[in-house]
Structure 1
Amino acid sequence: DPNEPTYCYCDRVSFGEMIACENDDCSREWFHLGCVGLEHAPEGKWYCDDCVRELGIDPATMRRK
């Protein structure tokens, strides 16, 4: 379906297990676990690499520095 929305760094449609970026303004919003190097969704908040840089979040704690 050409009208189906795409997500993630791979710019593909939704499939399999996905995780949402906690930044409400994230342009990609949803990510395939494999594309972000995860096997399982982590507990707590998660931000994509773009939003980690943009918001100044410490990737180790997922909190603002």
Structure 2
Amino acid sequence: NGEEPLYCLCRQVSYGDMVACDNDECPYEWFHYECVGLTEPPKGTWYCAECLSKIKKQR
């Protein structure tokens, strides 16, 4: 069908610089830098806000 998968909170196709959430269960998986406030690759482990919130609740 030629449809590209949708990523990020904005539910758009992959473009530009993107970062992957380090939670294997992340519903979004990949994020555009500008959508999550990044201007360069994060150092170390990075979780999106949704997964970070879930992780904090589990502790």
TM norm structure 2: 0.89
Q: After the TM superposition, which parts of structure 1 deviate over 3 Å for at least 4 consecutive aligned residues?
A: none
Gapped regions of structure 2 (runs ≥ 5): none
Q: Secondary structure at the residue paired with 1:56? A: helix
1:17-32 → structure 2 map (5 Å cutoff): 17-32=17-32
List gaps (5 residues or longer) in structure 1: 58-63
How many residue pairs are counted as aligned between the two chains?
59
| 1:38-49 equivalent positions in 2, closer than 5 A | 38-49=38-49
Identity of aligned residues (%): 47
Q: Larger RCO: Structure 1 or Structure 2 (Cα < 8 Å, ≥ 6 residues apart)? A: 2
Between Structure 1 and Structure 2, which shows a larger proportion of helix residues? Answer: 2
Name the structure where strand makes up a greater proportion of residues. 1
- Give the CA RMSD over aligned residues: 2.0
